[in-house]
Structure 1
């Protein structure tokens, strides 16, 4: 099974970069991460400006706010990743 995630962040956000690096190992296991710069959309900026980085599952709409580690990310994705195992 593949799963799509959206990473809401900004270009000058070191935490967003850390979050993206954390997702890299999952990309080989059917996880795709799309980055969205919240600065380009006033509604996204209002919603996420104090929360970035935020990962959203495109299948369920569930959101995971930073900070989290790889274990927490795997737990959050557990049902989707488990189906492929």
Structure 2
């Protein structure tokens, strides 16, 4: 299991854009979790997706973000 999760939706153009940004930022391996599959996640993230979450610290990065912002955010805790 990765230390990072990208919460997203099926057929979400913003989520597709977020995936491209994460690739550009050379983000570490992450898991994708679709909020459509869970009522709890839908309630928490439904209006916010895509959201990148650090599972170790609980920090979350809401869209919009660019490659620079992702890199700074990932390395903020010395990773």
Question: Fold conserved (TM > 0.5)?
Answer: yes
Number of residue pairs matched? 77
Where in structure 1 are there 5+ consecutive unaligned residues? none
Aligned to 1:53: 50
Aligned pair 1:76/2:76, yes or no? no
Relative to the length of structure 1, the TM-score reads: 0.81
Moved over 6 A (4+): none
Q: Please give the root-mean-square deviation of Cα atoms over the aligned residues, in Å.
A: 1.6
Q: Any idea what the Cα deviations from partners look like across 1:32-85, whole Å, max 9, x if unmatched?
A: 1111010111000001111000000122110000001111111101145x55xx
The structure with the greater share of residues assigned to strand is 1
Relative to the length of structure 2, the TM-score reads: 0.86
Where in structure 2 are there 5+ consecutive unaligned residues? none
